[in-house]
Amino acid sequence: MILPAVRDTRLITVHRGGLLSDDDHRSLALWSAECAEHVLGLFEGTEPSDSRPREAIEGIRAWMRGELAMMATRALGGHSMGAARPLSGAARFAAYAAGQAACVAHVPEHDLGAAAYAIKAVRAAALPGTEEFARREELQWQRDRLPDSVRELVLEDQKNRNRICWSVFSD
C-alpha cells in the first residue's frame, strides 16, 4: 500500500477540498508518466503483445490534455495492474508503475506509486550486486525530471512515505 493513512491536503485537489491546483495535478501526472515510461521496456521485453501498460501511460497523457475522463484513465490503470499480477520481477513492477501513473488522474498521491514501482523495476532488472547502484541512479533520474512547481512537495512526500514505499526513496 503506497497511500498514507492520513492524507496530506497539499496532495488533494482543490475541488476535493485540498490545496493541490489543477496545474500541479497535471504536473504530477506528467512526472508519473515519465517515470513509468522510462521502465516500460522492462515489461514490453517480456510481454510484447500486451499493450495495457502502454495504454495506461497514453491514457494519463490524454487525461492531462483533457481528452480522456478521469474514470476512463483510472480504468486503464487498473488494466495495467491486471497485466502485472501474473508476472514477477522487473516486468511486474514496470506494469504496476504504468498503472499507478494512470491512477494519478483519480488520486494525485499515486505519483509516488509510479515512481516507486519504476525504481523497483530497475532494481529487479539490475545485475546481481548492482541493485543499489541501479536504485540510486533511477531515483536521481526521476528527481532530475521533477517539475519545479511540485519539486519540494514531492521530495517531502518521498521522505514522509519512504517507509511505506519500500524505502526506495532513501538518499
Q: What is the mean pLDDT of residues 5-26?
A: 96
- What CA–CA distance (Å, rounded) separates 109 from 135? 21
Measured at the CA of 160, the angle between CA 159 and CA 166, to 5 degrees, comes to 75
In sequence order, the 6+-apart residues with CB closer than 8 A to the CB of 110 are: 2, 3, 32, 77, 100, 101, 103, 104
Q: What is the pLDDT of residues 44-98, one digit of tens each?
A: 999 999 999 999 999 999 999 999 999 999 999 999 999 999 999 999 999 999 9
User: Which residues, in sequence order, are bridge partners of residue 13?
Assistant: 20
Measured at the CA of 84, the angle between CA 133 and CA 51, to 5 degrees, comes to 105
Per the CB < 8 A criterion, the answer to whether 104 and 60 are in contact is: yes
Cα distances from 90 to residues 5, 16, 32, 72, 131, in angstroms, run: 28, 35, 17, 26, 12
In sequence order, the 6+-apart residues with CB closer than 8 A to the CB of 7 are: 18, 109
Per the CB < 8 A criterion, the answer to whether 14 and 20 are in contact is: yes
Q: What is the mean pLDDT of residues 147-169?
A: 97
Predicted TM-score of the model (pTM): 0.97
Provide the pLDDT for residue 160.
96
- φ and ψ at 20, to 5 degrees? -80, 125
pLDDT of 1 above 70: no
Looking up cell 508518466 gives: 33
Question: pLDDT tier at 2 (50, 70, 90 boundaries)?
Answer: confident
pLDDT of 33 above 80: yes
